[in-house]
Chains A and B, each alone.
Chain A
Amino acid sequence: MDDFFGQRYKKYMIIPIILLIPMLFLILVFPGITPGIDLTGGNVIIIRSAIELDKEQITSVLTESFDLVDLKVSTIASPTGYGAWIEYSKDPLTSQAEELLDKASASLDNDTESIAFSNELIVLLGGEAKEFSNAKLALLDAQDALLLYKEEFYLKLQNALSEKLALGQNVEFQRKEISPTIGGASFQGIIQISIIGFILIAIVVFVAFRQLVPSAAIIQAMIFDIIAGLAGMALLNIPLSLTTMPALLLLVGYSVDTDIMLTSRVLKEKSGTAGERATTSMKTGLTMTGTTIAALTAMLIISYFYQIEIIYHISAILLFGLVGDVIATWFMNAPILLWFKEGRK
């Protein structure tokens, strides 16, 4: 096949346009994209065990004995063992205590008031109110009380799970706790980074090709890739997080390679017709994307079975995005370029 595009290239553009509809549905309507606890704050407990873990059982153990807000449980089985992912935003007592702590530290200048708040917290968490000579000391005791409470709460939770699920010794708990403000600040940062990154990449493309339509065609492909990556996240229930946002950026960096190669060959080279040049580009491009997709598939499978979340998320997003890129590059970017070339003749 010397010219894959021929005269029918305009029709190809329908494919990505139609695909946009289900992808946008996945992202915006159902199941949608959820921000992860990195960005919202909350608690995660990851269990890795040699014994099978049951989602319902974990949920019932936790709801029976603990009052957890926004509890989410998911489990995974692989040849190497079993895993569970438990997420909750907070237990109400901790939130209440944290509020009191805020009040106590905000009113440090007023000894009596601040000590009262600290004592209220200590009593709330099951301690006894004390006489304090100054507010700073009271605050410290209150902070210690909260820390201790959190530790104990977590230990109780861990023990309850170990015992009731009979996990025995061969179990590994991993824990992550992010405060809402820290999550919010990270969110703000990652948004800023994404916007600037996108602007910079657009500048590089415009500087490289110095023509509006071809540059815009590359940028539409980038946007399509991001949409495909997001659709994959929605489908696999991967949250927007500090790992997945950079994965989307990386996707842009990766996928734009084929578009650049295509544009450069169609616009700058002279051999054969534009359609033929686009077709040889496609062979090169499919090899490029093909190697990456092959490597990512290997990583995806391994990281899924061994439950290395970060790599799993990154490779899943890249995989979806790159499949999207095949469509965006060869069914949209290439036809736009050919159309552009034809119009200029």
Chain B
Amino acid sequence: MIEILLARGPYLLVVLLAAVGAYLMMSRRTLLKAVVGLYVFQTSIILLFVALSYRTGGTVPIALDDLPMHNPLPHAMMLTAIVVGVATVGVAVAILRRIQAESGSIEDTGR
């Protein structure tokens, strides 16, 4: 059991975060919660890529010697994905401000 958790740990966390994020997106009283849920969901995917890059016995990806390295490419991609995620949150919050200005609240009215 412990071994399975250790071997699959990051992936279990990915599933957990994705579930929490999806739940937050759907069960919302205020629209801000949907933004948080979306961000948590995106974080689960970032973790998925980072977990993929792990190599047993690996080291930092700087080619100085012949040691096995963790794969640097997913990290590079996820830097971009993080930027995309932050930009999404920025646009979402800007839209929330417009909703607040228009209807006086950011409660979810079901529309």
A, B assembled together: no
Residues of A within 8 A of B (CB): none
Residues of B within 8 A of A (CB): none
